[in-house]
Chain A
Amino acid sequence: MTPGILALVVLALTILGYVLGRQRAVAEAKREGVRLHSLPGYYGQSVALFTAVPAFLLMAAWLFLQPLLIESQISSKIPDSVIPEGGARSLVMADVRRIADGLDLVVSQGGVSEDELLAMRADFTDVRSRLAEVGVALGSSVSPAVLEAAKSYRSIGKIGSLLRNVAVIVAALGFGFWAWRRVRPSMRARNVSETFIRSLLLGSSLVAILTTFGIVGSLLFETIHFFGIYPAKDFFFSTVWNPQFRGGSDLGILPLLWGTFYVSLVALVLAVPIGLMTAIYLAEYASSTLRSFAKPAIEILAGIPTIVYGLFALITVGPLIRDWIAQPLGIGTSSSSVMTAGLVMGIMLIPFVSSLSDDIINAVPQAMRDGSYGLGATQSETIKRVIMPAALPGIVGAVLLAASRAIGETMIVVMGAGAAARLSLNPFEAMTTVTVKIVSQLTGDTEFASPETLVAFALGLTLFVFTLGLNVLALYIVRKYREQYE
């Protein structure tokens, strides 16, 4: 029984529970000649909730934990002799999983019975070619210990799934029956089911916390792992980024941070003045016809996915800058450059800055404007001398939020900034950023134990800390400013 069918079975039991619970309540009330405490539906609902929720929770937990338990069981059974020199246990485990999946296919397609499979020995049968027949390619031939591990992986997995099915159905039936037995006319069914639903609502809102724990946990765990095999001092202070897949790489974050900083700087230099001026013009000057047309147009910019900006950088802006500026001036030959990525990212940030500033400018009380006009100031003087100082903390907050966006942006820099890690001042040269390197270290065939892969987690943690810090700072500034007027 696959998890999908199991879920359907539990769902069917839930509906059954609802019907039975409701019936029992109505029948009992009739027999005892008393009125029900709640509407009949609530009795059904309480039974249904007790049938479904524990069963589904158990199922989710089981699906999550079973692979882990099996893994640790099997992995302890693999003798050290099988693990190749310099390789990791996790790699052998990956092989075991692949072979186990392959054996499943052999059974279902290759016409091998379970008994024949149990008798199969790696010394006698060419397991590798057998698996290749069903489309599972292996890098090397299978050693007896690994085959045995794969076989027991399969059998434990099967037992586990069987146990899971039994446990989930028993949980559904057990809790359902218990709830059904509880149904009496005097039972406060509505209160029971409402309390239940309320705890479900609370549970859903905890998903956000769980996500944060997941992010921080996974980043921290792998980063500590990384610093166990690569010195932290070299990571933070080395100016050379040069990963080698044979080992002996230099993984200094400084060139990446410089690239990130430089691209973000170019983007902000473009986006902040233009975004701010756009917001001012639309809020203070523009006629309603222009506003009704320009505001949505700029909001469209905000709704466009970053991959579109990336493509724009790659096929339009990059070649344009190279052919018209960089090459004639002799300062760069590559179409991907800090300038390309920065300009395009700046365009992406314009609506972000302008909509945030718009809110802030509108929050400045009209009385301050009127006071300034009353003293004879022109509109621009009012904006520059009264509104801007009053809105300054909010605008600083908006700029910080925009900066945090720029630092975390990925697709534009992947497609527009280049892949070469270098420390240079020339904005027409290709440079690379933290996000680009996270992508390049984690895509493709990755071996999880090597520092070249794990460094991506350290980079991710750095990125997370930076953006979180900027956001917290921005929110703090904005909140502090709001207190002045409200």
Chain B
Amino acid sequence: MTDFTTASADAAARPKNNSLFERGERTRRRHAAERRFRMMGLAAVIFGILALIGLLGSILANGGSAFWQTYITLDVYLDPAKLDKAGNRDPEALRKVTTFGYAPLISTALEQLIEERGIVVEGLGKKDVSGLISKEAPAKVRNTVLADPSIIGETVTFNLLADGRVDGFYKGRVTMETAELDRNVSPAQLLLADELKEAGVLSTRFNLAFFTAPDASDTRPEAAGLGVAILGSTYMMLIVLALSLPIGVAASIYLEEFAPQNRLTDIIEVNIANLAAVPSIVFGILGLAVFINFVGLPQSAPVVGGLVLTLMTLPTIIIATRAALKAVPPSIREAALGVGASKMQTIFHHVLPLAAPGILTGAIIGLAQALGETAPLLLIGMVAFVREFPSAPPEGFFDPASALPVQVYNWTTRGDPAFVERASGAIIVLLAFLAVMNITAIILRRRFERRW
């Protein structure tokens, strides 16, 4: 009642506005407020989209260049006097020659080439010439020789990685000014690299090794690749898929179709809802305490990562599967039961196949989440520096490996700025995987989703 009286009092106090064609002061204010509110909403949407563009743009701008790499093409004379003193090509003896034995061969080859082409650059020290080539190059030559000792004594053409700084010079990361201050590279070296580029010896190509090579140490960012990480992530995804899909689907069928209304069911449901909201790092602590300390599984192993990610993915898959089961209309169940199928037959022969697209979509989305998860993997030791490829499964599940997102984190903690480019490149690879998975999920949903 009081509302009425105040409203009428208001109306009496308000100046009258009699024209329908001219808006009153108050209407104008209200419309202005309406426009302001609308603009705020639009601004919020635009902010969100700009944030997305900024995020993806900065990663692409920083990481795109990781897919290109500078190589130096060299004819290296594999001097038998240095590599195989005995001359009998004995593999054991050949293995005794370390990469230090191979490095002089490469620098000699480069020096010869510079002399032949008549390239003169002032202020170049002796070490500067060999500094153009990555420290990884001798290892590459050595591996080639060990794989085929018969090439000793011949002159073989190699595509060797250029040093990270030289590579950075062609990607705009290193300039003449920064080179002045840098202990690892001199401006003279960069001038020499330019000359070599003109001579066609040095070139920038697609970096296939980025996908296949293992990680490399701090001093040779140019050689670092994602091979071990991609393999480790694949192993973990296999484990997650093999465990979480059957367990998740079984749990959902029970809860959706069989569970009686009782305490236990309530507890399970509340549990699943809460597990979905537990921070991922807590799952990492669980993995460390239970799987590594208690059961004694090895650190850094894909099997531990897979188990932890399985537990994390389960709630997602259960929620999606239950939604998919719920979407199958009861008439299907009733029809099956009506012609004499048992409850179990109804579910496994009719309901589950009809819910399969929804379940698969949920599983793929759960897997995509698991693929990008980093924090729990840090705790179970996947951040360790791993250069060896894990062997084939099932033994490989217990070998140390890395994972894509952890490799990104690992590279961001390194000192050399070249690793930032690598980390961003790795993110692009990760996002590409995620995009493929999500698009598959969307296509699945579009193709097979049935509206009842």
Is there an interface contact between B424 and A411, defined as CB atoms closer than 8 Å?
no
Q: Which of B117-125, B179-187, B430-438 contacts A (4 or more CB under 8 A)?
A: B430-438
Is there an interface contact between A211 and B311, defined as CB atoms closer than 8 Å?
yes
**Distance to closest chain B CB from A157 (angstroms):** 11
Q: How far apart sit A457 and B378, CA to CA, in the bound complex (Å)?
A: 15
Across-interface contacts of A390 in B (CB, < 8 A): none
List residues 40-90 of chain A with CB under 8 A from any CB of chain B.
63-64, 67-68, 71
Q: Is the CB of A432 closer than 8 A to any CB of chain B? A: no
Q: Is the interface of B mostly helix, strand, loop or mixed?
A: helix
Across-interface contacts of B430 in A (CB, < 8 A): 305, 307-308
Q: Which of A126-134, A212-220, A246-254 contacts B (4 or more CB under 8 A)?
A: A212-220
Q: Is the CB of A297 closer than 8 A to any CB of chain B? A: yes
Among residues of A, the one whose C-beta sits closest to the C-beta of B383 is A443
Is there an interface contact between B279 and A463, defined as CB atoms closer than 8 Å?
yes
Cβ-neighbour of B251 out of A208, A274, A281 (below 8 A): A208
List residues 367-400 of chain B with CB under 8 A from any CB of chain A.
368-369, 371-375, 378-379, 381, 383, 394-395
Q: Is the CB of A381 closer than 8 A to any CB of chain B? A: yes
List residues 245-304 of chain B with CB under 8 A from any CB of chain A.
246-248, 250-251, 253-255, 258-259, 267-268, 271-275, 277-286, 288-290, 293-296
**Distance to closest chain B CB from A350 (angstroms):** 5
Q: Is the CB of B344 closer than 8 A to any CB of chain A? A: yes
Q: Is the CB of A306 closer than 8 A to any CB of chain B? A: yes
Instruction: Given A205-B251, A298-B49, verify A212-B281 contact (CB < 8 Å).
Output: no
Cβ-neighbour of A64 out of B284, B295, B408 (below 8 A): B295
Q: Is the CB of B54 closer than 8 A to any CB of chain A? A: yes
Q: How far apart sit A448 and B289, CA to CA, in the bound complex (Å)?
A: 10
Q: Is the CB of A243 closer than 8 A to any CB of chain B? A: no
Q: Which of A172-180, A309-317, A421-429 contacts B (4 or more CB under 8 A)?
A: A309-317
Is there an interface contact between A274 and B409, defined as CB atoms closer than 8 Å?
no
Q: How far apart sit A460 and B375, CA to CA, in the bound complex (Å)?
A: 13
Across-interface contacts of A206 in B (CB, < 8 A): 268
Q: Is the CB of A407 closer than 8 A to any CB of chain B? A: yes
**Distance to closest chain A CB from B233 (angstroms):** 12
Q: Which of B33-41, B188-196, B354-362 contacts A (4 or more CB under 8 A)?
A: B33-41
Is there an interface contact between A300 and B282, defined as CB atoms closer than 8 Å?
no
Across-interface contacts of A315 in B (CB, < 8 A): 58, 62, 412, 420, 424
- Interface code A249-288, partner B: CB below 8 Å = 1, 0 otherwise? 0000000000000000000000001111110111011100
Q: Is the CB of B42 closer than 8 A to any CB of chain A? A: yes
Is there an interface contact between A435 and B44, defined as CB atoms closer than 8 Å?
no
Q: Is the CB of B23 closer than 8 A to any CB of chain A? A: no
Q: Is the CB of A464 closer than 8 A to any CB of chain B? A: yes
Instruction: Given A209-B268, A311-B427, verify A316-B247 contact (CB < 8 Å).
Output: no
Q: Is the CB of B48 closer than 8 A to any CB of chain A? A: yes
- Interface code A438-482, partner B: CB below 8 Å = 1, 0 otherwise? 110011000010000000110010011001100110010000000
Instruction: Given A439-B378, A471-B277, verify A347-B251 contact (CB < 8 Å).
Output: no
Q: How far apart sit A208 and B54, CA to CA, in the bound complex (Å)?
A: 39
Listed A/B pairs (21) with beta-carbon separation below 8 Å: A204-B247, A204-B248, A205-B268, A209-B268, A212-B274, A218-B294, A277-B40, A280-B41, A285-B41, A303-B368, A307-B372, A307-B405, A312-B58, A315-B424, A350-B47, A380-B34, A415-B409, A443-B381, A457-B289, A463-B281, A464-B278
A contact set with B: CB distance below 8 Å: 2, 4, 63-64, 67-68, 71, 97, 190, 194, 197-198, 200-209, 211-212, 214-215, 218-219, 221-222, 273-278, 280-282, 284-286, 290, 294, 297-298, 300-301, 303-312, 314-316, 347, 350-351, 354, 378-381, 383-384, 401, 404, 407-411, 414-415, 435, 438-439, 442-443, 448, 456-457, 460, 463-464, 467-468, 471-472, 475
B contact set with A: CB distance below 8 Å: 30-31, 33-34, 37-38, 40-45, 47-49, 51-52, 54-55, 58-59, 62, 246-248, 250-251, 253-255, 258-259, 267-268, 271-275, 277-286, 288-290, 293-296, 311, 314-315, 318, 342-344, 368-369, 371-375, 378-379, 381, 383, 394-395, 405, 408-409, 412, 420, 423-424, 427, 430-431, 434, 438
18 extra interchain contacts, Cβ-Cβ under 8 A, other than A71-B296, A456-B285, A460-B282? A190-B342, A201-B254, A209-B267, A212-B275, A221-B289, A281-B42, A301-B48, A306-B372, A311-B423, A315-B62, A315-B424, A378-B31, A410-B280, A415-B412, A439-B281, A442-B284, A442-B285, A442-B288
Q: Nearest 4 A-B pairs (CB), nearest first?
A: A408-B279, A305-B372, A281-B41, A218-B289
